[in-house]
Protein backbone atom coordinates (compact mmCIF):
# COMPACT_ATOMS: atom_id res chain seq x y z
CA UNK A 1 0.00 0.00 0.00
CA UNK A 2 3.03 2.28 0.09
CA UNK A 3 2.21 3.28 -3.50
CA UNK A 4 -0.30 5.82 -2.19
CA UNK A 5 2.59 8.28 -2.12
CA UNK A 6 2.90 8.01 -5.92
CA UNK A 7 -0.71 7.51 -7.07
CA UNK A 8 -2.71 10.48 -8.37
CA UNK A 9 -6.48 10.93 -8.17
CA UNK A 10 -8.71 11.07 -11.24
CA UNK A 11 -9.95 14.64 -11.01
CA UNK A 12 -10.05 16.88 -14.07
CA UNK A 13 -9.42 20.65 -14.22
CA UNK A 14 -13.05 21.02 -15.27
CA UNK A 15 -14.11 19.25 -12.08
CA UNK A 16 -12.08 21.72 -10.02
CA UNK A 17 -13.75 24.64 -11.78
CA UNK A 18 -17.15 23.12 -11.05
CA UNK A 19 -16.17 22.58 -7.41
CA UNK A 20 -15.16 26.25 -7.11
CA UNK A 21 -18.52 27.32 -8.53
CA UNK A 22 -20.45 25.03 -6.18
CA UNK A 23 -18.59 26.33 -3.12
CA UNK A 24 -19.27 29.91 -4.25
CA UNK A 25 -23.01 29.17 -4.47
CA UNK A 26 -22.96 27.59 -1.00
CA UNK A 27 -21.24 30.70 0.37
CA UNK A 28 -23.73 33.01 -1.36
CA UNK A 29 -26.65 31.04 0.10
CA UNK A 30 -25.32 31.69 3.60
CA UNK A 31 -24.40 35.35 2.97
CA UNK A 32 -27.97 36.29 2.00
CA UNK A 33 -28.95 35.50 5.60
CA UNK A 34 -26.68 38.26 6.92
CA UNK A 35 -26.66 42.05 7.10
CA UNK A 36 -23.83 44.58 7.52
CA UNK A 37 -25.01 45.14 11.11
CA UNK A 38 -24.03 41.56 11.97
CA UNK A 39 -20.41 42.39 11.18
CA UNK A 40 -20.47 45.81 12.85
CA UNK A 41 -21.54 44.06 16.03
CA UNK A 42 -18.46 41.81 15.80
CA UNK A 43 -16.22 44.84 15.26
CA UNK A 44 -17.49 46.32 18.50
CA UNK A 45 -16.77 43.05 20.32
CA UNK A 46 -13.91 41.33 18.45
CA UNK A 47 -12.86 38.81 21.13
CA UNK A 48 -14.83 35.83 19.69
CA UNK A 49 -13.40 36.47 16.22
CA UNK A 50 -9.83 36.67 17.54
CA UNK A 51 -10.26 33.48 19.58
CA UNK A 52 -11.71 31.74 16.53
CA UNK A 53 -8.84 32.74 14.27
CA UNK A 54 -6.28 31.59 16.85
CA UNK A 55 -8.12 28.27 17.04
CA UNK A 56 -8.10 28.01 13.24
CA UNK A 57 -4.54 29.03 12.39
CA UNK A 58 -2.57 28.18 15.56
CA UNK A 59 -4.29 25.52 17.63
CA UNK A 60 -5.46 23.23 14.82
CA UNK A 61 -2.05 23.04 13.05
CA UNK A 62 -0.37 22.32 16.40
CA UNK A 63 -2.85 19.53 17.19
CA UNK A 64 -2.39 18.16 13.67
CA UNK A 65 1.38 18.07 14.00
CA UNK A 66 1.03 16.21 17.29
CA UNK A 67 -1.28 13.68 15.61
CA UNK A 68 1.23 13.17 12.79
CA UNK A 69 4.10 12.62 15.26
CA UNK A 70 2.06 10.10 17.26
CA UNK A 71 0.68 8.10 14.32
CA UNK A 72 3.55 8.48 11.75
CA UNK A 73 1.38 7.96 8.64
CA UNK A 74 2.69 7.72 5.07
CA UNK A 75 4.31 11.01 3.98
CA UNK A 76 1.58 12.01 1.51
CA UNK A 77 -1.13 11.24 4.08
CA UNK A 78 0.71 13.25 6.73
CA UNK A 79 1.06 16.21 4.37
CA UNK A 80 -2.63 15.90 3.48
CA UNK A 81 -3.56 16.24 7.16
CA UNK A 82 -1.25 19.24 7.52
CA UNK A 83 -2.65 20.91 4.39
CA UNK A 84 -6.27 20.43 5.46
CA UNK A 85 -5.46 21.95 8.86
CA UNK A 86 -3.77 24.90 7.12
CA UNK A 87 -6.88 25.72 5.06
CA UNK A 88 -9.47 28.22 6.31
CA UNK A 89 -12.81 27.04 7.64
CA UNK A 90 -15.12 25.52 5.07
CA UNK A 91 -18.14 27.46 3.90
CA UNK A 92 -20.43 24.58 4.85
CA UNK A 93 -19.43 25.50 8.43
CA UNK A 94 -21.62 28.59 8.06
CA UNK A 95 -24.59 26.45 7.06
CA UNK A 96 -23.93 23.97 9.89
CA UNK A 97 -23.46 26.75 12.48
CA UNK A 98 -26.78 28.20 11.38
CA UNK A 99 -28.40 24.77 11.81
CA UNK A 100 -26.76 24.36 15.23
CA UNK A 101 -28.21 27.62 16.56
CA UNK A 102 -24.77 29.20 16.82
CA UNK A 103 -23.54 32.63 15.80
CA UNK A 104 -23.73 32.44 11.98
CA UNK A 105 -22.36 35.99 11.59
CA UNK A 106 -19.30 35.01 13.64
CA UNK A 107 -18.90 31.85 11.56
CA UNK A 108 -19.07 33.75 8.28
CA UNK A 109 -16.72 36.43 9.66
CA UNK A 110 -14.23 33.73 10.66
CA UNK A 111 -14.49 32.19 7.20
CA UNK A 112 -14.02 35.58 5.53
CA UNK A 113 -11.09 36.71 7.71
CA UNK A 114 -9.48 33.26 7.64
CA UNK A 115 -9.88 33.15 3.87
CA UNK A 116 -8.06 36.46 3.47
CA UNK A 117 -5.49 35.34 6.04
CA UNK A 118 -5.06 32.06 4.17
CA UNK A 119 -3.23 33.93 1.42
CA UNK A 120 -0.30 34.09 3.87
CA UNK A 121 -1.17 31.63 6.64
CA UNK A 122 -1.99 28.57 4.54
CA UNK A 123 1.38 28.46 2.70
CA UNK A 124 3.13 29.40 5.96
CA UNK A 125 1.54 26.58 7.98
CA UNK A 126 2.11 24.01 5.23
CA UNK A 127 5.77 25.01 4.95
CA UNK A 128 6.33 25.24 8.72
CA UNK A 129 4.69 22.02 9.92
CA UNK A 130 5.43 20.03 6.77
CA UNK A 131 9.05 21.11 6.96
CA UNK A 132 9.35 20.10 10.61
CA UNK A 133 8.26 16.52 9.82
CA UNK A 134 11.17 14.92 7.96
CA UNK A 135 9.15 12.47 5.77
CA UNK A 136 7.07 15.34 4.29
CA UNK A 137 10.01 17.69 3.82
CA UNK A 138 11.05 16.01 0.57
CA UNK A 139 7.57 16.51 -0.91
CA UNK A 140 7.64 20.21 -0.06
CA UNK A 141 11.08 20.64 -1.59
CA UNK A 142 9.57 19.67 -4.96
CA UNK A 143 6.62 22.05 -4.56
CA UNK A 144 6.10 25.78 -5.11
CA UNK A 145 2.96 27.43 -3.74
CA UNK A 146 1.82 30.60 -5.51
CA UNK A 147 0.09 32.90 -2.99
CA UNK A 148 -1.36 35.06 -5.78
CA UNK A 149 -3.16 32.08 -7.28
CA UNK A 150 -4.43 31.11 -3.82
CA UNK A 151 -5.68 34.67 -3.32
CA UNK A 152 -7.57 34.63 -6.63
CA UNK A 153 -9.06 31.19 -5.92
CA UNK A 154 -10.29 31.93 -2.41
CA UNK A 155 -11.50 35.37 -3.45
CA UNK A 156 -13.72 33.99 -6.19
CA UNK A 157 -14.91 31.05 -4.06
CA UNK A 158 -15.63 32.86 -0.80
CA UNK A 159 -15.10 36.61 -0.56
CA UNK A 160 -16.95 37.71 -3.71
CA UNK A 161 -20.06 35.57 -2.94
CA UNK A 162 -20.01 36.89 0.64
CA UNK A 163 -20.02 40.52 -0.50
CA UNK A 164 -22.70 39.91 -3.13
CA UNK A 165 -24.96 38.03 -0.70
CA UNK A 166 -24.78 40.59 2.10
CA UNK A 167 -25.28 43.44 -0.38
CA UNK A 168 -28.33 41.78 -1.92
CA UNK A 169 -29.84 41.10 1.50
CA UNK A 170 -29.27 44.75 2.49
CA UNK A 171 -30.94 46.18 -0.62
CA UNK A 172 -33.51 43.49 -1.46
CA UNK A 173 -34.54 41.66 1.74
CA UNK A 174 -37.83 40.68 0.11
CA UNK A 175 -35.96 38.72 -2.57
CA UNK A 176 -33.47 37.09 -0.22
CA UNK A 177 -36.28 36.01 2.09
CA UNK A 178 -37.77 33.97 -0.75
CA UNK A 179 -34.38 32.63 -1.91
CA UNK A 180 -32.81 31.84 1.45
CA UNK A 181 -34.07 28.40 2.48
CA UNK A 182 -34.46 26.76 -0.94
CA UNK A 183 -31.05 28.02 -2.08
CA UNK A 184 -29.33 26.73 1.07
CA UNK A 185 -30.79 23.25 0.68
CA UNK A 186 -30.26 23.07 -3.09
CA UNK A 187 -26.66 24.27 -2.86
CA UNK A 188 -25.86 21.74 -0.14
CA UNK A 189 -27.49 18.94 -2.15
CA UNK A 190 -25.38 19.87 -5.19
CA UNK A 191 -22.22 19.93 -3.07
CA UNK A 192 -22.92 16.48 -1.61
CA UNK A 193 -23.79 15.12 -5.07
CA UNK A 194 -20.47 16.43 -6.42
CA UNK A 195 -18.50 14.64 -3.69
CA UNK A 196 -20.44 11.42 -4.34
CA UNK A 197 -19.71 11.62 -8.09
CA UNK A 198 -16.03 12.24 -7.37
CA UNK A 199 -16.02 9.13 -5.18
CA UNK A 200 -17.68 7.06 -7.90
CA UNK A 201 -15.06 8.17 -10.44
CA UNK A 202 -12.30 6.96 -8.09
CA UNK A 203 -14.15 4.13 -6.35
CA UNK A 204 -11.48 1.45 -6.78
CA UNK A 205 -8.82 3.83 -5.53
CA UNK A 206 -10.84 4.76 -2.45
CA UNK A 207 -11.69 1.15 -1.64
CA UNK A 208 -8.01 0.28 -1.79
CA UNK A 209 -6.82 3.07 0.47
CA UNK A 210 -9.82 3.90 2.67
CA UNK A 211 -8.48 1.97 5.62
CA UNK A 212 -5.26 3.98 5.61
CA UNK A 213 -6.94 7.34 6.04
CA UNK A 214 -10.48 6.90 7.43
CA UNK A 215 -9.46 6.44 11.05
CA UNK A 216 -6.97 9.30 10.88
CA UNK A 217 -9.52 11.66 9.34
CA UNK A 218 -12.12 10.81 12.00
CA UNK A 219 -9.56 11.33 14.78
CA UNK A 220 -8.24 14.52 13.19
CA UNK A 221 -11.75 15.93 12.88
CA UNK A 222 -12.54 15.03 16.50
CA UNK A 223 -9.36 16.84 17.62
CA UNK A 224 -10.39 19.91 15.59
CA UNK A 225 -13.91 20.03 17.05
CA UNK A 226 -12.64 19.36 20.57
CA UNK A 227 -9.89 21.95 20.23
CA UNK A 228 -12.32 24.60 19.04
CA UNK A 229 -14.73 23.91 21.90
CA UNK A 230 -11.89 23.90 24.46
CA UNK A 231 -10.28 27.19 23.42
CA UNK A 232 -13.68 28.91 23.26
CA UNK A 233 -14.52 27.58 26.72
CA UNK A 234 -11.17 28.68 28.17
CA UNK A 235 -11.80 32.14 26.69
CA UNK A 236 -15.17 32.13 28.51
CA UNK A 237 -17.17 32.83 25.38
CA UNK A 238 -20.94 32.44 25.37
CA UNK A 239 -22.45 29.13 24.18
CA UNK A 240 -23.77 31.04 21.14
CA UNK A 241 -20.20 31.94 20.09
CA UNK A 242 -18.71 28.68 21.33
CA UNK A 243 -20.85 26.70 18.91
CA UNK A 244 -19.63 28.80 16.00
CA UNK A 245 -15.95 28.42 16.91
CA UNK A 246 -16.28 24.69 17.57
CA UNK A 247 -17.86 24.07 14.18
CA UNK A 248 -15.64 26.54 12.31
CA UNK A 249 -12.50 24.82 13.64
CA UNK A 250 -13.83 21.34 12.84
CA UNK A 251 -15.17 22.10 9.36
CA UNK A 252 -12.26 22.72 7.01
CA UNK A 253 -12.39 23.94 3.44
CA UNK A 254 -11.47 20.57 1.95
CA UNK A 255 -12.66 21.84 -1.44
CA UNK A 256 -9.94 24.49 -1.35
CA UNK A 257 -7.60 21.76 -0.12
CA UNK A 258 -8.33 19.70 -3.24
CA UNK A 259 -7.78 22.75 -5.44
CA UNK A 260 -4.34 23.30 -3.86
CA UNK A 261 -3.45 19.60 -4.04
CA UNK A 262 -4.16 19.44 -7.77
CA UNK A 263 -2.72 22.85 -8.55
CA UNK A 264 0.55 22.48 -6.62
CA UNK A 265 1.05 18.82 -5.64
CA UNK A 266 -0.05 17.05 -8.83
CA UNK A 267 -3.02 15.33 -7.21
CA UNK A 268 -0.73 13.34 -4.90
CA UNK A 269 -2.64 10.25 -3.79
CA UNK A 270 -2.47 10.36 -0.01
CA UNK A 271 -3.13 14.10 0.13
CA UNK A 272 -6.10 13.86 -2.23
CA UNK A 273 -7.68 10.96 -0.34
CA UNK A 274 -7.33 12.79 2.98
CA UNK A 275 -8.96 15.95 1.59
CA UNK A 276 -11.73 13.96 -0.10
CA UNK A 277 -12.51 12.00 3.07
CA UNK A 278 -12.52 15.24 5.02
CA UNK A 279 -15.06 16.57 2.52
CA UNK A 280 -17.36 13.69 3.39
CA UNK A 281 -16.70 13.09 7.07
CA UNK A 282 -16.75 16.69 8.34
CA UNK A 283 -20.18 17.16 6.79
CA UNK A 284 -21.44 14.03 8.58
CA UNK A 285 -19.89 14.89 11.94
CA UNK A 286 -20.83 18.56 11.66
CA UNK A 287 -24.48 17.89 10.84
CA UNK A 288 -24.69 15.31 13.62
CA UNK A 289 -23.20 17.78 16.10
CA UNK A 290 -25.53 20.53 14.87
CA UNK A 291 -28.51 18.23 15.42
CA UNK A 292 -27.45 17.71 19.03
CA UNK A 293 -26.71 21.37 19.65
CA UNK A 294 -29.97 22.61 18.11
CA UNK A 295 -32.01 20.75 20.72
CA UNK A 296 -31.26 23.54 23.19
CA UNK A 297 -31.12 27.27 22.54
CA UNK A 298 -27.67 28.77 23.03
CA UNK A 299 -27.30 31.60 25.51
CA UNK A 300 -25.85 34.72 23.94
pLDDT at 16: 67
Which ranges constitute the DSSP H helices of 158-294? 160-171, 173-201, 203-234, 239-250, 254-264, 269-293
Domain edges within the chain: 2-293
Q: pLDDT band for position 64 (50/70/90)? A: very high
Give the pLDDT mean for 241-260.
Answer: 88
Please return the burial class of 160, using the count of CB atoms within 10 Å of its CB with bins 0-12, 13-18 and 19+.
middle
pLDDT of residue 122 exceeding 80, the answer is: yes
pTM: 0.82
Q: pLDDT band for position 110 (50/70/90)? A: confident
pLDDT tens-digit profile of 182-232?
887 787 777 777 767 766 766 777 677 777 788 999 999 999 999 999 999
pLDDT of residue 112 exceeding 70, the answer is: yes
More confident: 33 or 161: 161
DSSP bridge partners of 8: 268
Mean pLDDT, the chain, whole residue set: 83
Minimum mean pLDDT range among 57-71, 162-176, 196-210, 229-243: 196-210
Determine the Cα–Cα distance for residues 299 and 293; give it in Å rounded to an integer. Answer: 12
Listed ranges 102-106, 198-202, 255-259; the one with the highest mean pLDDT: 102-106
Q: pLDDT band for position 10 (50/70/90)? A: low
CA 137-143-147 angle, to 5 degrees, is 115
pLDDT of residue 2 exceeding 50, the answer is: no
Torsion over CA of 214, 220, 222 and 225, rounded to 10 degrees?
-140
Determine the Cα–Cα distance for residues 122 and 84; give it in Å rounded to an integer. Answer: 9
pLDDT tens-digit profile of 261-282?
877 787 777 888 888 888 888 9
Nearest-10 crossing angle of helices 269-293, 254-264: 170
pLDDT of residue 35 exceeding 70, the answer is: yes
Minimum mean pLDDT range among 48-62, 95-109, 121-135, 223-237: 95-109
pLDDT tens-digit profile of 137-161?
888 887 766 666 666 766 777 778 8
For the structural domain made of 2-293, what CATH number should be given? 1.20.1530.20
Residues 82 and 126 sit within 8 Å (Cβ to Cβ): yes
Burial 4-25 (b: 16+ CB within 10 A, else e): bbebebebeeebbeebbebbbb
Alpha-carbon distance values, 286 to 23, 117, 155, 223, 262 (Å): 17, 23, 24, 13, 26
pLDDT at 89: 84
Residues 218 and 7 sit within 8 Å (Cβ to Cβ): no
Determine the Cα–Cα distance for residues 129 and 139; give it in Å rounded to an integer. Answer: 12
Residues 8 and 268 sit within 8 Å (Cβ to Cβ): yes
pLDDT of residue 102 exceeding 60, the answer is: yes
Amino acid sequence: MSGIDEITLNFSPGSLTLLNAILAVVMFSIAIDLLPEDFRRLRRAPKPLIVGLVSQFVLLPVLTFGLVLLTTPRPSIALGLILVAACPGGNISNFITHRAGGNAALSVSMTAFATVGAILMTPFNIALWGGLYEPTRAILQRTEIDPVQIAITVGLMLILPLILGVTLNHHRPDLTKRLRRPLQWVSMAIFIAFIVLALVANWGFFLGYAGMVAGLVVLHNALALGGGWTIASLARLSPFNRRAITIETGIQNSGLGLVLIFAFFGGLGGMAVVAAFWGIWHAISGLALASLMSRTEAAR
